[in-house]
Chains A and B, each alone.
Chain A
Amino acid sequence: MKRLGPALLALGLLAWLALWPLWASGYRVRFMLELFMWVALAQSWNLISGLTGYVSFGHVAFYGTGAYTAGILILRADWPWPLAVLAGGVTAPILALLIGYPCLRLKGPYFAIAMLGLNEVMRVVVSYFDGLTGGGLGLSLPTLHASVPVYYAMGATALGATILAFAIITSRFGLRLMSIREDEVAAEAMGIDTSRYKLYAFLLSAVAPGIAGGLFARDQGYIEPISVFPLLTTITMIVMCLFGGKGTIFGPVLGAVLLSVFQELVWARFLYVHQVLFGAIIVAVVLFMPKGILGVLQERYRLPRTI
């Protein structure tokens, strides 16, 4: 009985979101679609950085990889878009394997720095292989009015990422990851193969950005290196996750919702001011509110730890 309330609430919310495109204006559907995207991205950043403490400064690389995978498969191989988008959820973890295997074997800042340069490198690589990717000119996908299917697909991605976070955080796997964050040497001493679990977390964290990037490509109809590898996207997902509460299940959701709304209302009009604020939020959260909003609420209202 105790769980019935939240369950009903969640079902009601899902139904409302599912029916949203039926009555909301195109603009509002788009806003919600972007919100879903941010939930999926913040949630996946949380899996590697929030749980294991290994900071990924280049998560947008997986997003861009997904976008280009989907774009190339749709345009050059005539794949139907849902399949092409799912393929992005496969290629992004492959990239993650290539980076993660050498860098996550080591403790310390190696991984963070390797991720720091990754979006630049991906941008250069994509521009270089212009026969396949269209180089700096980008790829134009055939027109398709699919914003409502894309809406549902993005919603499913956000929901899937959140369910994945729930499954991981409430499992032994999640405990292992969090023990790495708290004390990696102690975790190793207790018999946890830390390199392996860090890598698993990283691979899982690349899936949702890969899919979200593919959906973005299908939705926009046009991708170019600059539009799918922006540093700002990484910054935004980090800010959302930190602000909401890293290492929690609903923190990234909360952060994504709050910051998307603020962004829509005020900041989007002043790009640099908005980024200056993001920088200030990161500094402030790290120094004064390391557990984020949800962490503060958990402490004050004695909410369960696994939310």
Chain B
Amino acid sequence: MTVQITGTMLLQLVVSGLLAGGLYALVALGLSLIFGVMRVINVAHGTLLMLGAYTTYWLFALLGMNPFLSLVVSIPVLFVIGVVLQKLFVHRVVHAPELSSLLLTFGISIFIANAAMLAWSADYRSVEFLTGSFLLGPIALSKPRLVSFVVALAVTGLAFLFLHRTKTGKAIRATSQHRDVAQVCGINVRRIDLITFGLGAGLAGAGGSLVSVMFAVYPEMGQIYVFKSFLVIVLGGAGNYPGALLGGLLLGLVEQLSSLYLTTQVSEAIAYLLLVVVLLIRPTGLLGGRT
């Protein structure tokens, strides 16, 4: 199969890749925050994203709420769920070996995903809100993706503002830089853990709301995002928050460009290959990170 690759096609793919990447960056930032502060990889991150997507779906289906507006609900809802999970379970394994936190969050994720299956069935659902595309010369910009991208960037920007300008945000960054020293400086790290997990979950929820506008909503939709978010973190460098943005955009680009030669499904395998290659040649990430 040979396809004539034109400049327009390439440009189109670059644009689509960047649009997808903004969302990856948003979701990965949540995972990265939690990992930075607690050294816990939250395997349930994708499941939290799924809950965000269902929040938007139900608000849209039952109340006719604008999906992009529904972030105002899904972020707080997921924040609360995150705080509850942290309070009940995750805080017990923050200092335990990695095996415990990985398995614990894996168990939580299986539990929630299958409970969702029981409650809402495995049916694929969709939020048909914005359809069609804007035409910009020869480039087509899918409306839902463009708006999602803008919203994702806005939420990511707000999160950065929070981390850099507020006292709590600074405390979160301090804790992730050095937990013990942060504690000595009078930061209540247990409280920071709670807020961070809530925030991470909230960002996953925001990601879910945005995903629901573009793709099908079903209980197992989140699985792939844990992996992709982690890949974004590895690309950007662990603990390097701006790196997450770069990593997200890069992943989106790689996925789209690989679809030139392969089917879109195989782009998942390409993302995987990317992870293995980056771990082989530059395990600290492209921008370099804190180990």
> Footprint of B on A, CB under 8 Å?
49, 53-55, 57, 98-99, 101-103, 105-106, 108-110, 112-114, 116-118, 120-121, 124-125, 127-128, 181, 231, 235, 238, 242, 272-273, 275-276, 278-283, 286-287, 290
Name the residue on A nearest B103 (C-beta): A286
- Contact in complex: A125, B108 (CB < 8 Å): no
- Contact in complex: B110, A278 (CB < 8 Å): yes
Q: Is B160 an interface residue (CB 8 A)?
A: no
- Contact in complex: A279, B265 (CB < 8 Å): no
Q: How far is the CA of A106 from the CA of B283 in the complex (A)?
A: 8
B interface majority secondary structure = helix
A-contact 0/1 string along B102-127, CB 8 Å cutoff: 11101111111111011000000000
Q: Which 5 A-B pairs have the closest CB atoms?
A: A282-B107, A279-B111, A279-B110, A117-B227, A283-B107
What's the count of A-B pairs with C-beta under 8 Å? 131
Pull 10 A–B residue pairs with CB atoms less than 8 Å apart, ordered by A: A53-B97, A55-B103, A98-B276, A99-B276, A102-B280, A108-B98, A109-B98, A120-B227, A121-B269, A242-B103
Q: Is B275 an interface residue (CB 8 A)?
A: yes
Partner of A279, one of B98, B109, B268, B279: B109
A294 → chain B, closest Cβ, in Å? Answer: 17
A interface majority secondary structure = helix
Q: How far is the CA of A235 from the CA of B114 in the complex (A)?
A: 13
Q: How far is the CA of A26 from the CA of B108 in the complex (A)?
A: 37
Q: Is B77 an interface residue (CB 8 A)?
A: no
Known contacts A55-B102, A110-B234: does B276 contact A279 (CB below 8 Å)?
no
For B, the interface residue count at a CB cutoff of 8 angstroms equals 45
- Contact in complex: A102, B276 (CB < 8 Å): yes
- Chain B residues within an 8 Å CB radius of A49: 99
Partner of A287, one of B92, B112, B226, B265: B92
B267 → chain A, closest Cβ, in Å? Answer: 9
> Footprint of A on B, CB under 8 Å?
35, 41, 43, 89, 92-93, 97-100, 102-104, 106-115, 117-118, 223-224, 226-227, 230, 234, 262-263, 265-266, 268-269, 271-272, 275-277, 279-280, 283
Name the residue on B nearest A270 (C-beta): B118
- Contact in complex: A273, B99 (CB < 8 Å): no
- Chain A residues within an 8 Å CB radius of B113: 279
- Chain A residues within an 8 Å CB radius of B43: 57, 112, 116
